[in-house]
Amino acid sequence: MWSFYAQLPDTPWPAYQRQRRVDFGPSELGRQRYDLSGATSAATRARWERWERSYTGRRVDLFVRPLPVPPATDRLVVSDALVDWLRRGEAGRVRNSTWHLAR
């Protein structure tokens, strides 16, 4: 899930608040399962095993990004800022999360 907020002037965005993983809880679709045989490294396998033990339902990744708009900005301006952010990501050479979202 992605959330976007106004970037406060002269306030750096704290890196530790950019991403969190939370337990969605019981789901009618069942529990999140990981195919451990598909892990590409020992570290990935260990992470998947930890997640298997840690979550009762489905893991949800929460992402937060600031947009260059002042607080209480009209939603159309926010929409334009979001589209600009996605366009910059799509035009970039690095396949980061912005690039993937733009695609």
> Would you write out the chain's pLDDT as a tens digit for each of its 103 residues?
888 888 877 877 765 567 778 887 777 777 777 888 999 999 999 988 988 888 888 888 888 888 888 887 788 888 888 888 888 877 777 777 788 888 8
User: Taking the model in full, what pTM does it have?
Assistant: 0.62
Domain layout of the chain by residue ranges: 1-66, 68-103
What is the rounded CA–CA span in Å between residue 97 and residue 95?
7
Cross-sheet strand order for the sheet of 59-67: 2-6, 59-67, 19-23
3-state helix vs strand vs coil in the chain, percent to 5: 40, 20, 40
